[in-house]
Amino acid sequence: LIFFESDGRILWSSNPDYRGLLIDRNKQMLVDGKRSFYLREVHLKGAAENMPHLWFAASETYLLHMLTRYRNWAYAFSLLGGLTVVLLCWLMIRNFRRPFAQLMEATEAMVHGRLPVLNRSESRTELDQLLNRFADVLDALRREKAKVKRAHRKLQETAITDSLTGLYNRRYLQEINPGLFAQVERDGRYLTAIILDLDYFKAVNDEYGHLGGDAVLVHFARLLKHNSRANDHLFRIGGEEFLILNVAENPDDSVALAAKLRELVSESPANYQGESISMTVSAGISCCSGHSGEGSLSRLMRAADKALYEAKASGRNRVVVHTSCKEASDSARRRVKKLPLSLVRNTKKSS
């Protein structure tokens, strides 16, 4: 609002409603009913003293509104600035604590025997560089641990396998024995033992030396591996003596496998330094069931040994089935009867 005043009375106003109203020069206020105006005189240079005075009036309500608006803006900017500072502080603290937290988690995992994988940081701070070095240490420890595991596994394999043929040895036979008999008892199946012995092996050693004998043993072990079943356990238990253990519903397949191996060995000579070394094998088979009360490895082996002895005594190059397999299924007994009599004989039941 702009107006001219003389002697305290408004002569002219930008709002005609205020013409003729009185103003208080001392208080510099203009009150119009419910509205109040703050006044500010505009001094005109060169104006005579008796000339009307020019005033500028601002509504109190408008000023309060503007002050409130500016105050709210100030609060908003202050709050935004405070939040920005808090956010920046939080980010700084998080970035500062992150490497510490990762290092603490890694050390805690190492206390419990684990080697965690740490994500490397691209930051150049000292803490992040320390974290990266720690990650390198963990990587090196993991590599060394893998080497130790491989070496340990190799030692375990060496401890339970025959170094020449790669088949299991007697030590593993003792380890696996309880589990096999437990499976037989649990599933009501049969455990069959096939002991195979190369015929006249001493003559091979005498003629070709021990290296020639080793070549024959390796060749025979390879035949066993290539022609055995997935659930067969293959052992070398002596110089030229081998063992096949198998858990099955009935032992007729083991009898057929022994007959197949006997025929295959006679038809597959070993090769040593360009010479073919013919060989034959004798086999003795025994079996026990989970409900027969014969859950003894030594008893099972003695029965198979007895059958093998009979095969040797009967001219070698044959398979003999011990009477411990009497609980075999009818199909197994029929299959045994179909084999040539010269190759399969039943031992007399021992007292």
- N- to C-terminal Cα separation, the chain: 135
The string of DSSP codes covering 16-77 is GGGTT-B-BTTTTEEEETTEEEEEEEEPPTT--TTSPEEEEEEEHHHHHHHHHHHHHHHHHH
Cα 232 versus chain centre, distance = 29
Neighbour tally for 198: CB within 10 Å? 22
Cα 333 versus chain centre, distance = 48
Place of tokens 């005189």: 41
Please give the DSSP secondary-structure letter assigned to residue 165: T
Q: Among 5, 240, 294, 310, which one carries the catalytic annotation? A: 240
Distance (Å) of CA 72 to CA 59, 63, 77, 83, 85: 20, 14, 9, 16, 20
Rg (CA), the chain: 52
Q: Which residues contact 70 (CB under 8 A, 6 or more apart)?
A: none
Distance (Å) of CA 54 to CA 3, 144, 278: 6, 95, 136
Active site residue 240: yes
Q: Which residues contact 96 (CB under 8 A, 6 or more apart)?
A: 127
Return the active site residues. 240
